[in-house]
């Protein structure tokens, strides 16, 4: 019998771009990778405003949208600081916050643990597990940049929501899948979310010519 795969924690905050977090969850669940999901109150607002979700019954909507049959999704209320993911003894593969608001990014950079999302991120950091933040904000001021530098120096992967266009996207879905694919690369999760540079050519590519 194959060993069960350790879950990933996914946090969704109130930054614009909530579709990235939703698409990431869908791909992980499609690959039968368990997901422990934490959505902030502002995140729920953006799910309603940007995707039109019915948030009157949050758990039911999440089940319907992400995990109707498989039972691989665990939703944790953001105020439940006693949840499993609040402890380092609960084994996970790591955590992704996508999209990550600048408020949450600041809290993680300062080691705050005022809610479960912040506490889970702090636990992942202290346990030396992968922590990935996907900020979606523009323009950025000096405090934003300094907080990102603090996190990067602590080993956090910062993946700004900056889609590439060398894969010639034809739809908004293509742009979303590109960024989610970049996140999955940093998670070391195989995927076919987009066509990689050079995948359909035999030409050699120099370092100076290769897109990020």
Average pLDDT over residues 24-41: 96
Categorize the per-residue pLDDT at 204 as very low, low, confident or very high, splitting at 50, 70 and 90: very low
Tell me whether residue 61 is in a domain. yes
* Beta-strand pair 73-76/94-100: unpaired
Tell me whether residue 140 is in a domain. yes
Q: Which residue carries 């579709």 as its tokens?
A: 19
Provide the pLDDT for residue 208: 57
This prediction has a pTM of 0.90
Provide the pLDDT for residue 2: 46
Provide the pLDDT for residue 143: 98
Tell me whether residue 135 is in a domain. yes
Q: Which of 79, 159, 149, 142 lies closest to 109 in space, CA to CA?
A: 149
Q: Which of 67-81, 117-131, 137-151 has the lowest mean pLDDT?
A: 67-81
Tell me whether residue 22 is in a domain. yes
Tell me whether residue 200 is in a domain. no
Provide the pLDDT for residue 210: 57
Find the CATH number of the domain harbouring 129.
3.40.50.1950
Share of the chain above pLDDT 70, in %: 91
Summarised one tens digit per residue, pLDDT across range 161-201 is: 998 898 889 999 999 999 999 999 999 999 998 888 876 55
Question: What total of structural domains would you count in the chain?
Answer: 1
The domain in which residue 181 lies consists of 8-187
Q: Which of 8-17, 38-47, 166-175 has the lowest mean pLDDT?
A: 166-175
The DSSP line for 53-97 is ---SSHHHHHHHHH-SSS--EEEE-TT-TTSGGGSTTS--SEEEE
Tell me whether residue 183 is in a domain. yes
Tell me whether residue 82 is in a domain. yes
Q: Which residues in 134-166 are b (16+ Cβ under 10 Å) and which e?
A: bbbbeeeeeebeebbebbeeeebbbbbbebeee
Tell me whether residue 119 is in a domain. yes
């Amino acid at each position: 019998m194959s060993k069960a795969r350790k879950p990933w924690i996914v946090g969704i905050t109130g930054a614009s771009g909530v579709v990235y977090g939703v698409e990431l969850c869908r791909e992980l669940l499609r690959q039968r990778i368990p997901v422990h999901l934490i959505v902030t109150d502002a995140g729920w607002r953006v799910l309603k405003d940007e995707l039109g979700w019915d948030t009157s019954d949050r758990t039911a909507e999440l089940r319907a949208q992400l995990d109707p049959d498989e039972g691989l999704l665990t939703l944790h209320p953001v105020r439940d600081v006693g949840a499993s993911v609040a402890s380092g003894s609960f084994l996970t593969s790591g955590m992704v916050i996508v999209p990550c608001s600048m408020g949450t990014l600041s809290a993680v950079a300062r080691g705050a643990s005022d809610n479960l999302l912040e506490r889970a991120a702090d636990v992942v950091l202290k346990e030396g597990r992968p922590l990935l933040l996907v900020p979606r904000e523009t323009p950025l001021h000096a405090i934003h940049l300094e907080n990102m530098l603090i996190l990067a120096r602590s080993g956090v992967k910062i993946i700004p929501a900056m889609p590439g266009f060398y894969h010639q996207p034809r739809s908004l879905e293509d742009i979303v899948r590109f960024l989610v694919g970049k996140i999955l690369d940093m998670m070391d999760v195989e995927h076919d979310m987009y066509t990689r540079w050079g995948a359909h050519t035999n030409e050699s590519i120099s370092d100076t010519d290769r897109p990020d």
